[in-house]
Amino acid sequence: MTAVSTTSAAAPVARRRLKARHAILVPGLAIAIYANSVSSQHGLGLLPLLLFGILPHLTVLYGLGQRHGRRQLAPRAVPAFNAMHHPLVPLALAALAATGLIGPFWLVGALAWLSHIVVDWALGDGMRGTDGFLLGPVARLIGAGMPARAHRGGGDQ
């Protein structure tokens, strides 16, 4: 049996384009690779990497069952989500661990957590306003900080 290839000129294929925010992915992945090497160096395994890499997004579960729009986080989940997606906490934790005040488990965890936050920025996610929509520089960078109807000219549809 032979394979037949046909192309359709009527249906153009939409190509995804790289945006400026995608450049943020490089430091995010570099932090993750460094966290992995520190974890290996101290024999910690994958536990701190997975725990601190996934845990920040589990806060989205607080909003289950609450109505929300596309690209909007349920308002009930916003405070916990923002607390877990602010870089100050993992940076402070990493600083404490780097000085030796707390163990290497916490250093690896802080690095994995920080990597999660930076990769989220590159993928177009980040801090949310009280209404659940993106807030701050990431929202301005990707143009997604407003409700969908504001992008369509303000009409209710």
CA distance 68 to 92: 33
CA distance 17 to 103: 42
Which pLDDT band, with edges at 50, 70 and 90, does 104 fall under? very high
- Is residue 153 situated within a structural domain? no
Residue-number span of the structural domain to which 133 is assigned: 20-143
Report the domain count for the chain. Answer: 1
The yes-or-no verdict on residue 107 having pLDDT over 90 is yes
> In percent, how much of the chain has pLDDT > 90?
47
- Is residue 84 situated within a structural domain? yes
- Is residue 10 situated within a structural domain? no
- Is residue 44 situated within a structural domain? yes
What is the mean pLDDT of the segment spanning 34-42? Answer: 96
CA distance 94 to 103: 10
Q: Are 49 and 112 in contact (CB under 8 A)?
A: yes
Cβ count within 10 A of residue 137: 13
- Is residue 52 situated within a structural domain? yes
Q: What is the pLDDT of residue 51?
A: 95
Q: Which range in 16-20, 121-125, 128-132 is most confidently predicted, on average pLDDT?
A: 128-132
- Is residue 5 situated within a structural domain? no
- What is the model's pTM? 0.75
CA distance readout (Å), 5 to 2, 8, 10, 12, 99? 10, 10, 16, 16, 62
- Is residue 12 situated within a structural domain? no
